[in-house]
Amino acid sequence: MDEVDCIVAGAGVVGLAIARQAAMQGLETLIIETNPMIGMETSSRNSEVIHAGIYYPPGSLKARFCLEGKARLYRYAEEKRIPHARCGKFIVATSATQVDKLEAIRDKAAECGADDLVLISGAEATAREPALTCMAALVSPSTGIIDSHALMLSLQADAEEAGAAIALNTEIIAGTAANGRFTLRTRDRTTGEEYDVASRRFINAAGLSANKLANAIDGFDHATVPKLHMAKGNYFSAPTRHVFSRLIYPVPEDGGLGVHLTMDLGGNIRFGPDVEWTDTIRYEVDAHRSERFYDEIRRYWPGLPDGCLQPAYSGIRPKLSGPGQPAADFAIHGPQVHGIHGMVHLYGIESPGLTSSLAIAEHVMSLAD
């Protein structure tokens, strides 16, 4: 049986960041990924936004890791020359009642340490973004965008340079935690061949599959594994470029941040995600959902042309709260939760997971030691 110092399940942006951290700490690290390529699920199906740490409850893991992660990610992107832009963001109020909500968002963000937000009038917002219509806007100058694929490739390269190995197209079908050692039964999804691998540390960063994987590991109390709720987010593109110079977000809605306007590094505009609760992992985008998008977008961009929205892509967020429930925090369960030394499970790592990835990685490895 092969044995390594650390096994990381999941090669999304968080799993790769953890593997990089582990390998750079001198641990022989193996990354196991069920898909044939890295980052094929949540990590590559999002808005690619570097978040500023605005929306999260003070003291939460999301608030802490978003703020720490944002600073680390900008430094890392600059050092590695990963394409990114600190373009900024407007959170816009399109009714009088929403202006009060902007003030509440600003105050909560300041409690978390995100103290660079500035409330401006609708007239000033329109002067900066002529296509925009709103009653007021909250300016976030430190919000940005990043090429998530380039980021993941860089994290993988760092991990491999430090000695990590990656097994793609490989699933973990069972495991046991006993006597300070983890034994995992894996299966090659191409050949069907099964083999065992062991480690003194096991990090479950499997994203949408993390809860299921945790329940497949014997030797700890499965009552600690939370229930997964999946929120599908659909994105639509518009054949327009450089209409806006920064991201435009409405006031947040239940389950998400509303139908917001983001752009890629080439200035191409896209809208989303919406919130579609689901029990299955399917990524088809229903073109008819764009009908709701038009109404939502025109609240802040009335000049959106008729019939221009085209289905782009979708992603599924692994959430720990369901419809109508308060947004749940990240759940990072180390020995203090389940009692098993060397094992860490990450549940509900949705937004701002990409922004937080480098900060999460350091925290996880501190729990695994």
Chain-wide mean pLDDT for the chain? 95
pLDDT at 256: 55
- Whether 89-141+229-319 and 2-46+149-227+328-368 are alike in CATH topology: the answer is no
The percentage of residues in the chain with a pLDDT greater than 70, rounded to a whole number, is 98
**Encoded amino acid at 221, one letter:** D
Q: Which two tokens stand for residue 244?
A: 């806006």
Residue 360: CB partners within 8 Å, gap ≥ 6? 14, 17, 18, 65, 69, 330, 332, 346, 349, 353
**With left for phi above 0 and alpha for psi between -120 and 50, is residue 307 left, alpha or beta?**
left
CB 89 within 8 A of CB 52: yes
**Cα–Cα distance for residue pair 12/284, rounded to 1 Å:** 21
Average pLDDT, integer, range 292-307:
93
Find the mean pLDDT for residues 1-17.
96
Q: 292 pLDDT exceeds 70?
A: yes
Domain ranges of the chain: 2-46+149-227+328-368, 89-141+229-319
Q: Which CATH architecture has domain 89-141+229-319?
A: 2-Layer Sandwich (3.30)
Tell me how crowded residue 211 is: count the other CB atoms within 10 A of its CB: 21
35: which 2 tokens? 């898909």
The percent of residues in the chain predicted with pLDDT above 90, rounded, is 91
Beta bridge partners of 72: none
Is residue 150 within 8 A of residue 16, CB to CB? The reply is no
Which bin fits 258, alpha (ψ -120 to 50), beta or left (φ > 0)? left
State the Cα–Cα distance between residues 272 and 239, nearest whole angstrom: 15
The stretch 273-291 carries a mean pLDDT of 94
Band (179; pLDDT cuts 50, 70, 90): confident
Reported as a single tens digit per residue, the pLDDT across 214-232 is 999 999 999 999 999 999 9
pLDDT(1) > 80: no
CATH class of 2-46+149-227+328-368: alpha beta
Task: Write the DSSP assignment of 19-52 as a string of letters.
Answer: HHHHHHTT--EEEE-SSSSTT-SGGGSS--EE--
C-alpha span between 116 and 271 (Å, rounded): 25
pLDDT score recorded for residue 257? 60
Closest to 344 (Cα-Cα) out of 329, 357, 333:
333
